[in-house]
Structure 1
Amino acid sequence: MTATASTPAAPRPGARPRLATLFRPNEVEFVDAGASGEFVVGQIRFLLTLLLLCIPAVQFLAGAEGAEATIGLVLALGAFAFAGLVLTVLRRGGYRPGMGVWTSIVDVSLVSAGLAVFLVRGEPLTAVNSKVVFEVYFLAIGATSLRYDPRICIVAGTCAVFEYALIVMVASARWDLAGPEFAGDPYGVFNWAAQASRMLLLATATVLATAVVNRARALRRMSSTDRLTGLYNRAYGEDRLDAELARAERNRTPLSVVLLDVDRFKDYNDHHGHAAGDAALKTLAERLRQALRRTDIVARYGGEEFLILLPDTPQESAIEKLEALRESIAFTPVPLPRTSSVANLTISAGIATAPDDGTDAESLVAAADARLFRAKAEGRNKVVGHSPL
Structure 2
Amino acid sequence: MTSNALSGAAAIVGIGATEFSKASGRTEIRLALEAALAALADAGIAPEEVDGISTYTMDNNPEADVHRLLGGRALRFFSRIDYGGGAACAPVMQAAMAVASGAAEVVLCYRAMNERSWYRFGQAGGVAPSALYKSTHYSWYSPAGLLTPASQVAIAARRYMIDFGATSEDFGRVSVAARDFAATNPAAFFYGKPITLEDHQTSRMIADPLRLLDCCQESDGAVALIVTSLDRARQLGGRPAVIRAAAQGSGPEQHLMTSYYRDSISELPEMKLVADQMYAMSGLAPADIQTAIIYDHFTPYVLPQLEACGFCARGEAREFIRSGAHARGGRLPINPHGGQLGEAYVHGMNGIAEAVRQIRGTSVNQQPGVEHVLVTAGAGVPTSGLILGRD
TM-score (norm 1): 0.20
TM-score (norm 2): 0.20
Query: Does 1 or 2 have the higher relative contact order (CA < 8 Å, sep 6+)?
Result: 2
